[in-house]
Amino acid sequence: MKIMLINNDGGGFADWVEVADGTTTSQLFARHIQFGSPKDYLIRVNRLPASSEQELTEGDRVSITPTKIEGAVHAA
């Protein structure tokens, strides 16, 4: 099945990707984010926050956004 993956990590990209039926958000994360832990990212499915075990369905829009931007400094 095809889903829209919006990856906001680093340079970012958005594209339709093919995934197997029954794929979960954590499986998708492991396949597309090589370095990092899901706890450091906000994962949304169809604009709503998703659990790590949410199963994806045909046509879902998944966005993966880091919660901390590397190199960013907290303003005092």
User: CATH number for the domain including 48?
Assistant: 3.10.20.30
On whether residue 73 sits in a domain, the answer given is no
The Cα-based distances of 37 to 18, 45, 67 in angstroms read 22, 18, 11
More confident call, 9 vs 31: 31
On whether residue 74 sits in a domain, the answer given is no
On whether residue 75 sits in a domain, the answer given is no
Residue 40 has phi, psi (to 5 degrees) of -95, 10
> pTM for the full model?
0.82
On whether residue 20 sits in a domain, the answer given is yes
Domain that holds residue 53: 2-66
On whether residue 46 sits in a domain, the answer given is yes
Contact 43, 26 (CB under 8 A): no
pLDDT tens, residue by residue, 23-73: 999 999 999 888 888 888 999 999 999 998 999 999 999 999 988 766 656
On whether residue 71 sits in a domain, the answer given is no
How many structural domains is the chain composed of? 1
> For position 71, what pLDDT does the model report?
62
> For position 14, what pLDDT does the model report?
94
> For position 44, what pLDDT does the model report?
96
- d(CA 40, CA 65) in angstroms, rounded, equals 9
Classify residue 58 by its DSSP letter: T
> For position 20, what pLDDT does the model report?
97
